Amino acid sequence: MERQREIQLDVQWLGRRPYAEIWELQKRLLEQRINNEIGDTLLLVEHEPVFTWGKRTKPQHLGAGQEALRVLGADTFQVERGGEVTYHGPGQLTGYPICNLANLSCGRDLHKYMRGLEEMVIRVLASYGLEGGRVEGLTGVWVEQAAGGRRQAAGTANDPKPQALSPTPAAKVAALGVRVRKWCTMHGFALNVTDECLPWFKHIIPCGIGDRPVTSLQSLLGDPPDMADVRGRVIETFGQVLMPGKTSPGR
């Protein structure tokens, strides 16, 4: 009998890097993954300031426009992912799974893959004693704004259904935007870790949603969490949710 090949996830921490460099790396790795030249990979990075947007973004969502965003000291790129305009930069952990969906627990189901990424973030929040939820019709992970300014969340970590949030506008703590080609993935998720990343969002309409604020783990916890600790929890939880028992140590 032929022995079944063990599937693992190669996790790579890239440090702080410009977006263009990692975008090109993603595209190279995607081609290699499609051709089975590499295994499933998760890139983790903290970007230099950059605004990116997908094909559906409306000009008004870019605020004063690309040139004005560049004057702020950020790069700007239209990319091939789904979703609208967002910001990446210091204080935010961005993850790019380069994976064959057939190897993930979601299988070749893009909707389940997106919900799996959300579930991963929800469980990371739960590990800090926070509750994240979903907003029906929107992607990403959300938390409620409680009275007194401290934001808390609705929903549970294990329930994949959209959670009913209170009438107070929910704040977004993590954004998603992916591309799938020949059932292999690129782009991914961005989790706001510290408040350092938050002021940049005021220059755009994040994800085309103008009536809901953006928050961070620091705002939720009261103190900035250690980025390395957050990274470790993301790696562990990604494996638990999408590749149970298949995650190799990060490097």
CATH number, position 128: 3.30.930.10
Is residue 153 over pLDDT 90?
no
In sequence order, what are the residues at sequence separation of 6 or more whose Cβ sits closer than 8 angstroms to the Cβ of residue 110?
101, 178, 180
Is residue 140 over pLDDT 50?
yes
pLDDT at 17: 98
Is residue 109 over pLDDT 50?
yes
Instruction: Note whether 191 and 217 are within 8 A (CB).
Output: yes
The yes-or-no answer on residue 207 being catalytic is yes
Q: Is residue 115 part of a domain?
A: yes
CA 80 to chain centre: 16
Q: Is residue 248 part of a domain?
A: no
Is residue 42 over pLDDT 70?
yes
What are the φ/ψ torsions at residue 95 (nearest 5 degrees)? -125, 135
- Per annotation, catalytic residue among 99, 184, 197, 207: 207
pLDDT at 169: 61
pLDDT at 4: 41
Question: What pLDDT digit, counting tens, does each position of 77-94 carry?
Answer: 889 887 788 999 999 999
Is residue 104 over pLDDT 80?
yes
pLDDT at 29: 99
Question: What pLDDT digit, counting tens, does each position of 13-37 carry?
Answer: 999 999 999 999 999 999 999 999 9
Q: How far is CA 7 from CA 40, 42, 95, 247, in A?
A: 8, 13, 20, 9
Q: What is the mean pLDDT of residues 38-45?
A: 98
pLDDT at 6: 56
In sequence order, what are the residues at sequence separation of 6 or more whose Cβ sits closer than 8 angstroms to the Cβ of residue 156?
131, 163
pLDDT band at 53 (very low <50, low <70, confident <90, very high): confident
Q: Is residue 45 part of a domain?
A: yes
- List helix spans (H) across the chain: 19-34, 66-71, 110-127, 217-221, 227-242
Q: Is residue 2 part of a domain?
A: no
Separation between Cα atoms, residue 122 and residue 130, nearest integer Å: 8
- Both tokens of 191, joined, read 């989790």
Q: Is residue 140 part of a domain?
A: yes
Q: Is residue 4 part of a domain?
A: no
pLDDT at 55: 75
pLDDT at 152: 39
Separation between Cα atoms, residue 8 and residue 242, nearest integer Å: 11
pLDDT band at 162 (very low <50, low <70, confident <90, very high): very low
Separation between Cα atoms, residue 93 and residue 1, nearest integer Å: 43
Is residue 244 over pLDDT 90?
no
Q: Is residue 230 part of a domain?
A: yes
Host domain of residue 41:
9-242
**Total count of domains within the chain:** 1
Q: What is the mean pLDDT of residues 102-130?
A: 97
Torsion of CA 83, 38, 46, 152, to 10 degrees: 60
CA 9 to chain centre: 17
pLDDT at 218: 97
Q: What is the mean pLDDT of residues 44-61?
A: 86
Its sign, for the CA torsion 18, 88, 175, 193, is positive
Instruction: Note whether 74 and 51 are within 8 A (CB).
Output: yes
Is residue 98 over pLDDT 60?
yes
Q: Global pTM?
A: 0.86
